[in-house]
A and B are shown apart, each in its own frame.
Chain A
Amino acid sequence: MLELQHIKKIFNPGEITQMSLFEDFSLTVSDNEFLSIVGSNGSGKTSILNIICGSIPIESGGVYIGGKDITNLPEHKRYRRIGRVYQNPAQGTCPNLTVLENMSLADNKGKSFNLTSGINRKRTEFYRMELSQLGLGLEDKMDLKVGSLSGGQRQAMALLMTTLTPIDFLILDEHTAALDPKTAEIIMNLTNKIVIEKHITTMMVTHNLRYAVDYGNRIVMMHKGGIVLDKSGDKKKDLTIQELLGLFNQISIECGN
């Protein structure tokens, strides 16, 4: 379970460009929830993710995972049980390492990076199986440098790598936004499959209202650092795109988007 309690966040404090994003923001995500966050530009969607992961500091407030206070934990320590997929497919993999090397690296998360062989021969078959399930032909490209793959293939790999080792929390940061519609569809299906199979609590920020409606069991709409809509379970199922779009347009017009 993830809790954001009374978060206060000000960008560029003390300078001309000072902007207060969150005054007293709180959000709780329960176990096994698949939460979609939508909202206008600048509403704070991505900032929530960054605050959870520790990439940006906060003025006051607390972040708790499973009851444990991680507010003061450095970024890399938070990622022990958190996985993250970024919008830019290039950020989720190492371009100059091969597919096999990337998978080996991700597979070793949480274990010691000692002087034993980097690539575990016994696991190679397992990686091949996992990659073949993506349906992108990556299982035949294991010795190819990741930099020569397409954006969609890299993003699929990033998703797979993030969930290769057990994590409590998956963060998806507009991870289909940079892909073409067909590839985005593939990645979304994959995401859903992995989340359901591995029972990972997930938080997805997206611009695609349809995805927000079709996938997951909870939806939150943000505007100017506050929550304007929060539906989960059955209430979410009844929500239609029309209603969502209407509310979205309303807040967008408000802040001039």
Chain B
Amino acid sequence: MTTFIDLCIGTLIQGMIYALLAYGIFITYKILDFPDLTVDGSFPLGAAVTAILINKGINPFLTLPIAMVFGAIAGLCTGLIHVRLKVRDLLAGIITMTALFSINLQIAGSNMNIINKDNIFDLIPMGSLSISYRKLIITVTLTILIKIALDLYFKTKNGLLLRGVGDNANLVTTLAIDNGKIKIRGLIISNALVALAGCMVCQESQSYSSTMGTGQMVFGLTAVIIGITIFKHFSFIKGTTAAVCGSIIYKLCIQFAMQMGLEANLLKILTAALLLVILVFGTFGKKKRGALNA
């Protein structure tokens, strides 16, 4: 029975940490309608920065905001390339992601671990609680705090504008706002969150690898789509909640597949099958049409 609980806790922890990544992709893909591949680079960027700073003795708590700043800069680059240099959204993200590959190698090499150093899970005092429960409480708290912050933000004028740009960029122009500036803002927020996810993954698994970003865009997209599709009929569920649930469900599916003995090589095809099933049942894949019901 404890195995069951432990497995659930472990999966939940992963789901919560990767929910931060899902938030980021939710912002760019769902709200801004911008397929942002930068995340494959900004995710390991957050982890690289965390690993090198912790190894140099910097307080692990500081790595969280620092990783977010680095992620924000990555998002800014993609934004500038797209808006000022007029490169298409997908390509702009690819350019930044490719550049980040080299940059990450420069920051922390190909692998780095922080095994003998303290991380935030060691430093937060929680009495005699075992490490799994500590990690659970910390990650859940962080994810929920960020969710609340995002929900509040989207209720503000600034947040409403961001939602407007994704929905009808032209309208924002007629409101005398430079919609490029708003897109850049969205990319900055999104990639800051993705880098934060990378930071947390590094702290939790105590290691960083330069290839850990591969496929994270696909993960995030799948998580967001799972969440949105499942909760489509419950309109009171916010998009951020859907992102968290999608992340947890996806991690659960992977764990389930591993329990069933599915070979790791086949896990990617499982992801593809999962995505297809969700899309077919959710009709999310149909193109967004401005409904003109006469």
Task: Determine the chain A residues whose CB is within 8 A of the CB of B173 once the complex forms.
Answer: 75-76, 79
Q: CB distance A91 to B168 under 8 Å?
A: yes
Is A42 close to B, CB under 8 A? no
Q: A93-B168, A106-B175, A110-B176 are in contact. Are A117 and B155 (CB under 8 A)?
A: yes
Which residues in chain A, 88-114, are within 8 Å of chain B measured between CB atoms? 89-97, 101, 104-106, 108-110, 112-114
> In the docked arrangement, what's the CA distance between A101 and B293, Å?
20
Choose, from A144-152, A189-197, A242-250, the stretch at the interface.
A144-152
Nearest residue, chain A, Cβ from B181: A76
Residue in contact with B171 in the complex, picked from A75, A93, A112, A151, CB distance below 8 Å: A93
Query: In angstroms, how far is the closest chain A Cβ from the Cβ of B26?
Result: 14
Kindly state whether residue A137 has any CB partner on chain B within 8 Å. Answer: no
Does residue B167 face the partner (Cβ distance < 8 Å to A)? yes
B154: nearest chain-A partner, CB-CB = A118
For residue B153, which residues in chain A have a CB less than 8 angstroms away from its CB? 115
Interface size class of B (residues with CB under 8 A): 20 to 34
Interface residues of chain B: helix, strand, loop or mixed (majority) = helix
* A109/B167 in contact, CB under 8 A: no
B132 at interface by CB-CB < 8 Å = no
Q: Is B157 an interface residue (CB 8 A)?
A: yes
Cα A74 to Cα B173 with chains together (Å):
10
Interface residues of A in 193-225 (CB under 8 A from B): none
From the candidates A76, A105, A148, name the one contacting B161 in the complex (CB within 8 A).
Answer: A105
Q: Specify the chain B residue showing the minimal Cβ separation from A179.
A: B294
Q: How far is the CA of A97 from the CA of B290 in the complex (A)?
A: 12
A115 to B179 alpha-carbon distance, docked (Å): 18
A95 touches which of B158, B168, B172, B175 (Cβ 8 Å): B168
In addition to A76-B176, A109-B175, A148-B293, 7 A-B residue pairs with Cβ atoms within 8 Å of each other are: A90-B292, A94-B164, A95-B167, A109-B176, A113-B158, A147-B291, A151-B293
Chain A interface (Cβ < 8 Å from any Cβ of B): 74-77, 79-80, 83-84, 89-97, 101, 104-106, 108-110, 112-119, 147-152, 154, 162, 180
- List of 9 A-B pairs having minimum Cβ-Cβ separation, nearest first: A90-B290, A118-B160, A94-B167, A79-B176, A80-B176, A113-B157, A147-B291, A115-B156, A94-B168
What are 22 A-B residue pairs whose CB atoms fall within 8 Å in the complex?
Answer: A76-B173, A76-B178, A90-B168, A91-B171, A92-B171, A94-B164, A96-B163, A96-B167, A101-B163, A105-B160, A105-B161, A110-B176, A113-B160, A115-B156, A115-B157, A115-B158, A118-B155, A118-B160, A150-B292, A151-B294, A152-B294, A154-B292
